[in-house]
Amino acid sequence: MKITFIGAGSLGFSRRLMIDILGFPEFQDATFALMDINPKRLDYTRRIAEKIIKQGNFSAKLQVTTNRREALQDADYVIIMILVGDIEVIRPDIEIPLKYGVDQCIGDTLGPGGVFRALRTIPVLIDICKDMEEVCPNAWLLNYTNPMAMLCWAMNDYTKIKNVGLCHSVQGTAWQLSNYLGVPTNEIDYWVAGINHQAWFLEFKWKGKDAYPLLREKINDPNIYNIETTRFEMFKHLGYFVTESSGHNSEYNAWFRKRPDLKEKYTPGGGWNGGTGFILQLYGTDRENYEVELEKIASSNDPVDLTQSHEYGAYIIHSLHTGVVRRINGNVKNTGLITNLPEGCCVEVPCYVDKQGIHPCYVGALPPQLAALNRSNIAVQEMAVKAAMTGDKDMAFWAVAYDPLTAAVCSLEEIRKMVDELFEAEKKWLPQFT
C-alpha cells in the first residue's frame, strides 16, 4: 500500500499520522511518499520518519521527493496538509483587516483571512486533484487543510476524486466536555452535525442519559466558563454546544468581536480563547529559532513516542482497507443530509466507514437558530469558492462583505478598500486574479 503526504514538511502532522498508521500491523510494510515544495522542511520530516521506522523495526519504505506527480503515482491514499504561502502570507491576512477594525484570532476558516486563504489554496488543491485523476484516480483524498469547508466544496464541484475533510474538533470537543463533567470520555455518546468548526452537539449523553443539564451547571463555574467563553455564551443563548475553540467561533458571527468592550468581556486571557492574531503565535513569529527547534527534533537521539493518537486519518484508512466499521465525523457534500442547509454545500456529519467507502448519515433539519448561523457562514463559503475558481474579484469582495464579523464592523466602501489592499499584498499567491 502507498500513502502519500502532500505538505509533508508540516512536521507535527506528518509525524503524528505516520505513527498512527504504522500502529496497525496491516500497514507496517507500507510505502510512505513524503512530498513538500520546501526541501529543508522535507528533510526534517525524512529524518524523523527514518527514526520512526528504525525504532519500531517496521518494514515500511520511504519515498521522499519535491515532485508532486512522482509522489502521487499509484497512491492508494493521499493526505493533504498544505499551507500555500506559509507564514509570509498569513500576516497580511490578520494585519490588514485589523487596520479596518476586523479583529481576527485565527482567520483560517471564515472572514477576510479565511476567504483569502481559500483564494490561495483552492487552485493548488484542484491541481493536486487533477494530477490524481491521471496517476491515482481511485485513491482516497483525506484533507486536513483549512478552510476545510471551502476546499472540500471546491473538490466536490470541480474534481472526480473521492475525498473527505477531517478535523479533530468533534472528538476534541467531546474530550473537553467529558473533562468539564469529570467523567471518562468513553462513557460519553454524541451526535454532532453542522459545518466544519461550527457543528453542533445535537445529542450529548453520559451513560445513555442527557448530559446537557450537567453541562449547563458549568456555565456558573468561572474556572470552566473563562476557558471557553464564547462557546459557553453560545451554548447559554442558542441551547447547543458548538465544536472548535472559542477563538475560532468568536470570528464566525457578529456578537463578540465588533467592539473593544465586547472583545475584553468575551475573550478573557486571549490565546485560544480569542486573542488578536493568535494564529501568528501558533505559526511562530520567530522563524529562525523555530528552524533551530526543528533541527533539534530531527537530530535528537531521544526515542519517539509511538503511541497512536485519536486523529481520524489512520482509522479511516484502516477501515477502508480492512472493512472494520467505524463512525467518524467527516466533511462531505450535502446531498439532502441536513435538510435546512443548502444542497451541495459542505457539511460535517456522522459517517460510517467500511471497505466500500465513507457513508454519510442523514441528519434532517437542524434547530432553526443553528441552521441560521450555519447559513450565514455558508453564504461566504459559496462565493469564496466561486471567486477562487473564476478569478472574479467582485465575487471575492462579496464573500468578505457578507462575512458576519466584517459586516458588523465595516461599511461597504471600507470593505472594498480592505479587499483591494489584501489583493495587492498577496498578489504573488493569487495568479488567477491578474
**Helix pair angle (368-390, 148-158), 10° resolution:** 60
What cell was used for 125? 488543491
Active-site residue, 252 included: yes
Q: Which of 240, 252, 312, 402 is catalytic?
A: 252
Q: Among residues 9, 96, 88, which one has the least CA distance to residue 48?
A: 9
Contact at 8 Å (CB) between 105 and 169?
no
Task: Give the phi and the psi of residue 232 in degrees, each rounded to 5.
Answer: -70, -35
What cell was used for 170? 468533534
Q: Among residues 174, 201, 115, 167, which one has the least CA distance to residue 332?
A: 167
Active-site residue, 190 included: no
3-state secondary structure string, the chain?
A: CEEEEECCCCHHHHHHHHHHHHCCHHHCCCEEEEECCCHHHHHHHHHHHHHHHHHHCCCCEEEEECCHHHHHCCCCEEEECCCCCHHHHHHHHHHHHHHCCCCCCCCCCCHHHHHHHHHHHHHHHHHHHHHHHHHCCCCEEEECCCCHHHHHHHHHHHCCCEEEECCCHHHHHHHHHHHHHCCCHHHEEEEEEEECCEEEEEEEEECCEECHHHHHHHHHCHHHHCCCHHHHHHHHHHCCCECCCHHHHCCCCCCCCCCHHHHHHHCCCCHHHCCCCHHHHHHCCCHHHHHHHHHHHHHCCCCCCCCCCCCHHHHHHHHHHHCCCEEEEEEEECCCCECCCCCCCEEEEEEEEECCEEEECCCECCCHHHHHHHHHHHHHHHHHHHHHHHCCHHHHHHHHHCCHHHHHHCCHHHHHHHHHHHHHHCHHHCHHHC
Q: Which of 158, 168, 321, 352 is catalytic?
A: 168
Cβ atoms within 10 A of the Cβ of 178, count? Answer: 19
* Cα–Cα distance, 29 to 361 (Å, whole number): 33
Catalytic residue positions, numbered:
168, 252
